[in-house]
């Protein structure tokens, strides 16, 4: 059995086991998130910045408790489409026997088309299939570090246009995509808590590299997306269980939800916390 590590974050220590040596952890113990004090919340946010993905098992909370917890992490994005069925802080993530598609398939970073894209995302699963429905995560710091120094230097001079896509309508309450603005972000960004540099383009939202013509942009993005998809040494995988909560830091992480469980049901609730305008320093 792996011996739990102790990670110093703020003045608190959180015990965890590693999902991979550099990326992703499972927090140890049975402590409930709803009982965390402010220092433990700060430690959790710092640990997510350092390790990218945090897994917590056997977490019991109501929808309202999760919504209240979201405000302790920062400023949550709201979902006007809930119309009182759920707290506005929550987004229902669900697929079942009637679903032809599932949310989160394809490598992406949540809502990167926002002027201030998300920092943390938190997904709590209540119903999971007997098998399948795993989420894959990619460490964009390791992906960037695996590129040649020449390509790294070039990428740090570029910016990408991130366009709102269909599911963002659900988050925003807008009627049409042309009501939503695009955003321009650096292709490589720095994490505000750690200073780590990470690749920040994703197939879910990026429309074009601003400084390149369309053909050049398409070729470069295709190369980078292949690097994300095929760099298995930069990835970890989470197998869901009922009452599992996973946090991931969108500044340095992309994820891909496997839709391999039809016609079974998979249902959970996500909260997404606003970050800051991406910069490279």
Give the whole-angstrom CA distance, residue 165 versus residue 184. 15
Q: Considering the chain, what percentage of its residues have pLDDT values greater than 70?
A: 90
> pLDDT at position 175, please?
56
Q: Which residues of 76-107 are buried (b: 16+ CB within 10 A; e: fewer)?
A: bbbbeebeeebbebbbbbebeeeeeebbbeeb
**Mean predicted confidence (pLDDT) in 191-197:** 98
Model confidence at 84, in pLDDT bands (50, 70, 90)? confident
Which is higher by pLDDT, 10 or 18?
A: 18
CB 66 within 8 A of CB 259: no
Task: Tell the CATH topology of 5-274.
Answer: Double-stranded beta-helix (3.60.130)
Give the whole-angstrom CA distance, residue 262 versus residue 82. 25
Question: What are the distances in angstroms from CA 245 to CA 37, 73, 194, 239, 267?
Answer: 18, 14, 23, 11, 12
pLDDT of 137 > 60? The answer is yes
Q: Summarize pLDDT for 22-71 with one digit per residue, the tens.
A: 999 999 988 999 999 999 999 999 999 999 999 999 999 999 999 999 99
**Mean predicted confidence (pLDDT) in 155-172:** 78
Write down the domain spans for the chain. 5-274
CB 255 within 8 A of CB 247: no
For residue 180, the tally of other CB atoms under 10 A from its CB is 18
Give the whole-angstrom CA distance, residue 62 versus residue 202. 32
Q: Summarize pLDDT for 197-214 with one digit per residue, the tens.
A: 999 999 999 999 999 999
């Amino acid at each position: 059995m792996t011996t739990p590590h102790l990670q110093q974050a703020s003045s608190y220590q959180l015990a965890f086991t590693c999902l991979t040596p550099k990326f992703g952890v499972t927090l140890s113990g049975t402590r409930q998130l709803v009982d965390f004090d402010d220092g433990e919340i700060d430690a959790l946010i710092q640990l997510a910045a350092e390790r990218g993905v945090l897994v917590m098992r056997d977490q019991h909370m109501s929808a309202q408790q999760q919504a209240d917890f979201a405000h302790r992490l920062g400023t949550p994005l709201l979902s006007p489409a809930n119309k009182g069925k759920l707290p506005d802080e929550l987004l229902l993530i669900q697929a079942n026997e009637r679903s032809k598609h599932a949310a989160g398939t394809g490598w992406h970073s949540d809502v990167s088309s926002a002027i201030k894209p998300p920092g943390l995302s938190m997904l709590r699963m209540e119903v999971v299939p007997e098998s399948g429905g795993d989420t894959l995560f990619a460490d964009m710091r390791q992906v960037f570090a695996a590129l040649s120094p020449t390509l790294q230097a070039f990428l740090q001079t570029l910016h990408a246009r991130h366009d709102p896509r269909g599911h963002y309508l659900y988050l925003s309450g807008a009627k049409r995509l042309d009501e939503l603005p695009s955003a321009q972000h650096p292709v490589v960004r720095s994490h505000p808590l750690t200073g780590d540099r990470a690749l920040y383009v994703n197939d879910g939202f990026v429309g074009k590299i601003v400084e390149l013509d369309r053909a050049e942009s398409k070729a470069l993005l295709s190369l980078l997306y292949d690097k994300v998809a095929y760099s298995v040494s930069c990835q970890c995988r989470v197998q869901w269980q009922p009452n599992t909560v996973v946090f991931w830091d969108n500044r340095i992480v992309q994820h891909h939800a496997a839709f391999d469980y039809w016609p079974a049901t998979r249902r959970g609730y996500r909260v997404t916390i606003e970050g800051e305008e991406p910069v490279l320093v």
